[in-house]
Amino acid sequence: ADGAGARAAAAKREKHAAVYDLAVAALRDADPAYAESFTSLAVTERFRGSPHIDTENVAPFYGLALGDFSRGGRVAGER
């Protein structure tokens, strides 16, 4: 926990604290129990993904898209 990666993650968390706190609040509203136990959070901008399977993900995954989607855009997922 004292390595360069941990320090970089802490600095990034501090720099983006307001966004992180809002994301956690949204997660807490959707699933309070999970909000107390999640281990990672990704925030992206103008994300473009491709169909794929994350074989290493073994826990639930939440996604939230914010913005003006009047000119298109969609999120697709499988259960």
How many separate helices (H) and strands (E) can be counted in the chain? 3, 0
Query: Please, what sign has the CA dihedral across residues 5, 32, 60, 72?
Result: negative
SS3 17: helix
One digit per residue, the tens of pLDDT, for the chain of length 79 reads 579 988 998 898 899 999 999 999 999 999 999 999 988 888 888 888 787 787 887 777 888 888 887 887 776 666 6
d(CA 45, CA 53): 21
